[in-house]
Structure 1
Amino acid sequence: MFAPVAHRQLVLFPAPARDLERGRIFGFPAPPDPVMGAFLDAFVLDYAEKHGWSLTATKIVRRGLAVALGLQDTPGAPLRATDILELQQVGTNTLRLLEVCDAAGLLEDDREPAVDKWFSAAIAGLPEQMRHELGRWYVVMTHGSMTPPRSKPRSEQTIRLYLRWSLPALNAWAAAGHTTLREISTDDVREVLPGSGNPRATMGQGLRCLFRVLKAHRVIFFNPIGSIRTGTHETRQPMPLPASALREAINSTDPARAAVTAIVAFQGLRSGQVRKLQLTDIHDGRLHVDQRVIPLAQPVRDRLAAWLAYREKRWPKTTNPHLFISRRTALDYSPVGIAWINTSMGMTVQEIREDRILHELHANGGDIRRLCDMFGLSIPGAARYSAILTHPDLRNH
């Protein structure tokens, strides 16, 4: 086991971005710490064997690792993620290199989170004081608050949505000459709010979150949207898919497409459930998911068997425990992304799930309790489907 040094070599002045093309031509310096170099090289070989990497993939990572070590300012220190990402210029697979260094405990992740960059860019055109106030809101939303009023961190997606919904109002107030959110009155809010529908509801939800957090933490002293009704989101009516589209996907010659579509179409799983399915979740003809045991229909069993045979032939050395894997995830332990699932099927998981729920609804005559038990729906969620039981498109489907 290698123990990295605890110090960092200071530099006299920050150097400009390295021109690695010159190193490609004339060669890179050798790693200044041979002990660290030998440790990481042996670690890469062992890691590659365990994860079923090809000889070419292993060679690229070993070469990239040697370059990264040779360019270190502090020999023996953990490798910085930003330095590793620069190696894309010389054809190194930086994602795998980051993965290896992290697994070896020799990665210093100094990257700025993407959401931080996005937030800074989104509010860049606002007045300085307003940016400062929004920064306080962002800190509370991102990290939560351990002091009263206490709150939990919110997800990156939630933060992005609330700010996007609020930005039209913030930009309008800035254009009108306001420099701080403390100046905003109830009349100012009414002037920027759309008249009705989802635009009004979403902007209202974003501004309500913004002003509530700032008032709770005494950044502002008055919540100007507190007494204004903005309505709720208008829900979209779920409708069935064309039978021909589902039939084509389920009977596809692509094992991944047929298996994923079949398990969603017959079992009505959510995208998150499909992504997280493990090989051990399916045995004895049954699916074990979210503490439920679901018998699998024969068409699903057949397509899963075909997929597993293809999976074994295509990636015989993979150690990824997930049921569905891709060319990228076969080399690690991560699940496939939602984009891979939707692209494989040629339609979204939600569309197929809604189609399955509507079929069950039609078959059981509108039994909401059964929908809740079978698909994990809430009572209001199930009621949304039962409300269209008599829709002509559903009757004729």
Structure 2
Amino acid sequence: MSSENPVLRSAAHHAHELGQARGWSPSTTRCVLDGLTTVLQDRPAGEPVPLSEVRTRPHRHVSRPRLTEVLADLGLLQDDSATAIRSWIDHITRDLAPGFAGPARHWLTVLLDGDNRAQARSPGSLYVYFSCARPFLEQWAIRHDHLREVTRSDITAALEPLRGSQRSNAIKALRSLFRFANKRGLVFANPTTGLKVRDTESDLLPMTFDEIRAVEELVTDPAWRVIVALAAENAARTGAIRHLALDDVDLANRRITLAGRRQRLGDIGHRAIRRWLDHRHATWPHTPNPHLLISPKTALGTTPISQIFVNLRMQQVGCTVQRIRQDRILHEALTAGPGPPAPVTGLRHLPPRRDPLRGRRRASPQR
């Protein structure tokens, strides 16, 4: 890249070196160079680039994580995300009624910063919590002048139409809001006291035929074959699967470390991981990512696949990793019968049931 800006030339050189070391494609490298030109060309030497500008100014084909990595390595990145989230808090609470806007703004600010009573939460948590609570706050503001006037009956009526995860998330958000308001004297009493997150629809139930067929569609992909195998054999949670590192897998001894616990790796998981590793090496031979499962985006860096990456794919087929995991636990409980609970660690002899990874029906015990 020819430029009179020495900072831009240095950044471009570092981008080329990083791209070669990380196995970036030529198009990814070119787009990162375009992004560097956009944010550095007219900037005074040494002035850092705000993270909010990296996320908005370059064209849509630029990989923001790769551009951020180059700037951070050179000390040219200013993380102003906290300032951006504070502006968001002011903006989204501005339209609420005064008696609700003040408590909501104070609640979100403490969630962001934390204090001596609570730990700081991520911006993503704030988005989720407020998106769940906002419809109720707007609804209650029609009949009440202040948050302290909301009663238990108001909350019960608002939650009545909700089911499943939607209801669970709403309860968590409201409990967080009213616990905060009660501790700081913004309400007279906490109307969510004793409100349970668990919904009757979250009870352990066997997977339906449609859910099993959906899983069979997933396992044609090598990465999803690993996810399903670990959820079905080891009852692994999504977070443990996402953060599973290459060093956590011991194929020779058929052992795997999930969430810090060393377990036996079952036959299905063993075959699925071997197949995935062959695919991974053929597709991304130079990836620096230490995690077992990677995607086209994370193969260029070192982060695990995201929760959103998993959720979106599962939503398309109408099933979840948690449902597969619960079905595994339920089946073990029904097969083992009464007695002290044993940890689910990938049983040596899987109970006879439908195996979604083989796509055929085996004898299933009566449930």
- Shorter chain as denominator, the TM-score bin is 0.7 to 0.9
Task: Please tell me the residue identity of whatever aligns with 2:266.
Answer: A
Alignment of 1:330-349 (within 5 A): 330-341=299-310, 343=313, 346=317, 347-349=319-321
Please give the per-residue CA displacement for 1:206-260, whole angstroms capped at 9, x wherever unaligned. 5554344234334x3633638x76555324222222475377358x443223232
Query: Could you state the TM-score of these two structures normalised by the residue count of structure 2?
Result: 0.77
Partner of 1:193: 155
Tell me which residue corresponds to 2:243.
276
User: Which of 7, 18, 34 is residue 47 of structure 1 equivalent to?
Assistant: 18
Match of 2:65 in 1: 95
Distance apart, 1:315 and its partner CA: 0.4
Within-5 A mapping of 1:166-315: 166-176=133-143, 178=145, 180-181=146-147, 184-185=148-149, 188-190=150-152, 192-195=154-157, 206-218=173-185, 220=186, 222-223=188-189, 225=191, 230=195, 233-235=198-200, 236-242=202-208, 245=213, 248-249=216-217, 252-283=219-250, 284-315=253-284
Could you tell me how far apart the structure 2 residues matched to 1:335 and 1:68 are? 27
TM-score by length of 1: 0.72
Q: How many residues align?
A: 337
Residue identity matched to 2:341 = R
Give 1:75 deviation, angstroms. Answer: 2.4
Aligned to 1:356: 328
Matches within 5 A, 1:369-384: 369-370=341-342, 373-374=343-344
Structure 1 residues 102 and 247: alpha-carbon distance in aligned structure 2, compared to 1, 3 A threshold: closer
Structure 1 pair 271/118, CA: closer, same or farther in 2 (3 Å)? farther
Residues 138, 154 of structure 1: CA spacing in aligned structure 2 closer, same or farther, 3 A cutoff?
same
Farther-moved stretch of structure 1 (276-285 vs 106-115): 106-115
Amino acid at match of 2:106: R
Moved more, 268-277 or 336-345: 336-345
The 8 Å contact of residues 248 and 257 in structure 2, kept in 1 or not, is answered as yes
Task: Tell me the residue number matched to 2:359.
Answer: none
Partners of 1:138 and 1:106 lie apart in 2 by 30
The residue number in structure 1 matching 2:55 is 85
**Per-residue deviation at 1:143?**
1.6
- Percent identity between the two aligned chains: 27
Question: For residue 106 of structure 1, what is the aligned residue in structure 2?
Answer: 76
- On the 8 A contact 1:197/1:234 being kept in 2, the answer is no
User: Are 2:106 and 1:143 equivalent residues in the alignment?
Assistant: no
Indicate how the Cα distance of structure 1 residues 296 and 175 shifts in structure 2: closer, same or farther if over 3 A, else same. same
State how far apart, in whole Å, the 1-side matches of 2:63 and 2:132 are: 37
Q: Is the CA contact 1:321–1:333 (under 8 Å) kept in the aligned structure 2?
A: yes
State the shift of 1:108 in Å: 1.1
Partner of 1:71: 42
Any gaps of 5 or more consecutive residues in structure 2? 347-363
8 Å Cα contact 1:240-1:358 kept in structure 2:
yes
